[in-house]
Amino acid sequence: MGAEIFGVDLSQDLDNETFGEIYQALLNHGAIFFRDQDITPAQQVAFARRFGDIHLHPHIRGLPEQPEVFPIIKDVDDKVVLGGEWHTDQMFTNTPVRVTMLYAKEVPPYGGDTMFANAALAYDNLSDGMKEMLEGLMTLNQYNKKKPRAAAMKVEDVEEEAPQAVHPLVRTHAETGRKVIYLCYEGITRHIIGMTPEESRPLLDYLRTHVVRPEHTCRFRWREGSLGLWDNRTVQHLALNDYAGHRRVMHRITAGPEASH
């Protein structure tokens, strides 16, 4: 789970062979990380486009000069952080994104790491009986409009009922063929289709705990200029909120919308 890649300048156009090695590392490790990058928002977008069409967040606006990039900001007075629960991005949509890219613009003197969990490895480590029981189950997922937001984040209010999306609880990765436990925290993944939320909760809570067991995870410590990229089809992530009184600014792009079925 996770790998650092060295010797690449992401401000430059990458030849197909280099990009191919990067993409294969992403498939192999779930999340990959680059240190000491100096890139503009336009250069970050150019790199992200190599992974597919850019996906615009339905409720968060991007930079005025580069709308494909939206800043994730936790200011010194903010108490909550975006992404502070284990999740996979955009699961409340019918076509979740293939990859998420995060570039560190301003980091606190301590804390602010991100945790990653490999949900394909977690599936491999289930018992045969559990795998058989999960086969064919579907979940209902919906945007959590009641979740507290950092004041510095410009998240639009969702006045109407948010759309619902149905996804398999175990999906098959389109490129690796591996099976993956596919779910979010309770505010997004509401229940198993055909069961009530109360009936679903024990199984979903078990899987949520199982995916993030230490042997399935890695932790990345950001520095200014670090860039992380993860396979949203395989990996869950969690932003740690342990740097009270300090500011943190990240530039995020999601790319490659892909149906989960």
Q: What is the pLDDT of residues 157-193, one digit of tens each?
A: 555 577 899 999 999 999 999 999 999 999 999 999 9
Is residue 78 part of the annotated active site? The answer reads no
Q: Per residue in 49-85, pLDDT tens? A: 999 999 887 778 899 999 999 999 999 999 999 899 9
pLDDT attached to residue 259 = 47
The token pair at 209 is: 């705990």
The token pair at 83 is: 């992404």
pLDDT attached to residue 68 = 95
Among the options 191, 248, 251, 252, which is catalytic?
Answer: 252
Among the options 55, 87, 171, 208, which is catalytic?
Answer: 87
pLDDT attached to residue 158 = 52
Q: Per residue in 224-258, pLDDT tens? A: 999 999 999 999 999 999 999 999 999 999 998 76
Residue among 54, 74, 50 nearest 62 (CA): 54
Among the options 216, 237, 248, 251, which is catalytic?
Answer: 237
pLDDT attached to residue 260 = 41
Average pLDDT rounded to a whole number, residues 121-135: 98
Is residue 252 part of the annotated active site? The answer reads yes
Give the phi and the psi of residue 218 in degrees, each rounded to 5: -140, 165
Residue among 95, 89, 97, 98 nearest 236 (CA): 89
Among the options 29, 55, 89, 190, which is catalytic?
Answer: 89
Q: Is 131 helix (H, G, I), strand (E, B) or coil?
A: helix
Architecture of domain 3-255: 4-Layer Sandwich (3.60)
Residue type, 221: R
pLDDT attached to residue 147 = 59
Residue among 150, 161, 162 nearest 70 (CA): 150
Is residue 89 part of the annotated active site? The answer reads yes
Q: Per residue in 94-103, pLDDT tens? A: 888 899 999 9
With a CB cutoff of 8 Å and minimum separation 6, the contacts of 138 are 166, 167, 168, 169, 192, 193
Is residue 210 part of the annotated active site? The answer reads no
What is the chain's length?
261
Torsion region of 11: left, alpha or beta (phi above 0 gives left; psi -120 to 50 gives alpha): alpha
